[in-house]
Structure formats: structure tokens, C-alpha cells
Amino acid sequence: MGDKTGIQWTDSTWNPISGCTKVSAGCKNCYAERLHNRFTPLSTYPRFTDIVLHPDRLEIPLHWRKPRRIFVVSMGDLFHEAVSEEFIRRVLTVCDRAADERGHTFQILTKRPDRMATVVREWWTAFRKEGCEPRMDQIWLGTSVEDQATADERIPHLLATPAAVRFVSYEPALGPVDFQWDIYTDDLRPNWVICGGESGPHARPSHPDWFRQVRDQCQAAGVPFFFKQFGEWSHVYDFNAREHTQLHVDGRRKGGLLADNSPGWEVMSRVGKRAAGRLLDGKEWSEFPGGGAR
């Protein structure tokens, strides 16, 4: 947690809770768990799967004077079932207050959008009954997906959540996703899509056509598109790469190099996150809701 972060689509991180448990294949190589285990001695602190609330951190954003985008709970999931609704409401109330007093924008991302929809709706309704109007334009709510199945399951819950900006983080991309923008209305659809491949020692490759399809769909629908990274693997063949694998656009994978140029297959080279970069077809995509880039 801190005043600065290497996450490209935000400016700062704030962790009033920490810890999480796995819910789907996208969690397998969780970066937050990896960081926790790397820097936190198990003899002096709970395991990553132990959800810890940090009430002493609640007012941190109120002390940051310069307006910024703040990723809420980068080291866990605010809507984990072990986090009480009362504490979630306290976090949301701080977001609303800091948005008003400091001009911050809060980005909340979850793999549990069903609970998010329920809790946020109840908080929002209670807030309005008190005669207040929450700053929902500065509290962005999103869900993570990794393939078509998780997209189909989670996005409807996201759309059932009251928010001015609803976003989808398609990361790590583990299979193709068709966002089917034609089924949405202009008032009820994701307002932003973040894409990225997996990084870390056990990272799985992502087919470049998965990102191209989402980029093209976003452009056609007028939805801001942010390409974060290819991750550990590049589709640009590198003879000196540590490892190569074959990946089909439908998600099938097999080792070695291609014997021919079969349609749909890519030879993926494991070159590392820095070398793989974040250029998609030679261009950096860093679009945000409301226009502009970081």
C-alpha cells in the first residue's frame, strides 16, 4: 500500500483489508499472495488466506491532498465473505468523503460481484435516505474475469451494481472473451475494460488475438480500452527465450515449436514481463473513462 504504485491504471493503492482466498482459475498464481509470502514472515503475521481488517488505515486517503486514482484493496478483495458488511460500509463512506473533500477517484475491483451488488446497493440506498447523494461518479466499481465463463457469470452482477463507472479487468487472460456489446444498452454496460496477461514464475500465456478481439470490440462500442501488459510471455518469437509453447486461439496449449503455420496457433516465447512489454500491434493503449490517459 502506498503513495505510489507500479500498477499502470492507478496512481496509489489503499488496503484497509488484506488477505484473500481463491475462487477461480485466475487466482492460481495470485500476485498479491506472492508479494505477501515474499515480504511477510509467517512467524510474525497471518497467512494470506487469513483475512485481516485494518481500521487504523481507514482515513489514509483523507490525508492525501493531491487528487488521484486510488486502487482499493490491491492485496485482497473488499467483498470477501469474511469482511463484514459494516466494515465494507465504513470503507465506502471514506471513499465518498475523500472523493468530496480531496477529489480522489476510487477503483474497487472484485471477483465477488454478486456480494458487491448487494452490499453497495444497500449502502447507496441507506445513504440517500439520510438525504445525501453518494459521489458514485468517483467510486468506480469493477470485476475481474479470465475467460468467457467467468465473464458470463460476473458481468451481470457488476451491471446490477449502482455505479457511474463499471469496469472489467480481463486479467490474467486465460481464454477468449466475447463481450457481446450489442446485448447492452448505453446506460447499462461496462464503461471501461482493462486487459493483461499473467506475470510471475508460473505465468500462463495469453493469445494476442484475445486482446485484439477485445480491443476491436471496445473501439466499435466506444468503450475505453486499457492494455496493461502481455505478461511473462510474448507472441514475438525469441530464439533465446527460456521456454517456448504453442497456444491456440481457443485456449489449447502444447509444448515445442510449430511444425507448420496451422491457423489459430501462436508460438509463445517466455521472455519476461519487461521484454514482452505492453504494446499491442505497436501501440500503447491507455484509455480511461472520461477520456485521456495516465
The gap between the terminal CA atoms of the chain, to the nearest Å, is 19
Residue 38 lies in a domain: yes
| Structural domain boundaries, residue 155 | 12-284
pLDDT digits (tens, 9 = 90+) for 12-47: 999 999 999 999 999 999 988 888 887 776 555 678
CA angle 119, 120, 126 (to 5 degrees): 90
In a domain, 292, yes or no: no
Number of structural domains (the chain) is 1
Q: Are the CB atoms for 140 and 167 separated by under 8 Å?
A: yes
* 131 pLDDT more than 60: yes
Angle among Cα 70, 292, 99 to the nearest 5 degrees reads: 30
**Domain-located, residue 153:** yes
**Residue 144 half-sphere exposure toward CB, CA atoms < 13 A:** 25
Say if 6 falls within a structural domain.
no
Whether residue 5 is contained in a domain is answered as no
| C-alpha cell belonging to residue 234 | 510474448
Residue 210 lies in a domain: yes
Phi, psi of 148 (to 5 degrees): -65, -40
Q: Is 294 among the domain residues?
A: no
- Does residue 74 fall inside a structural domain? yes
pLDDT digits (tens, 9 = 90+) for 133-160: 888 899 999 999 999 999 999 999 999 9
* Each residue's pLDDT tens digit, 58-85: 999 999 999 999 999 999 999 999 999 9
Could you give the 3-state DSSP secondary structure of residue 148?
helix
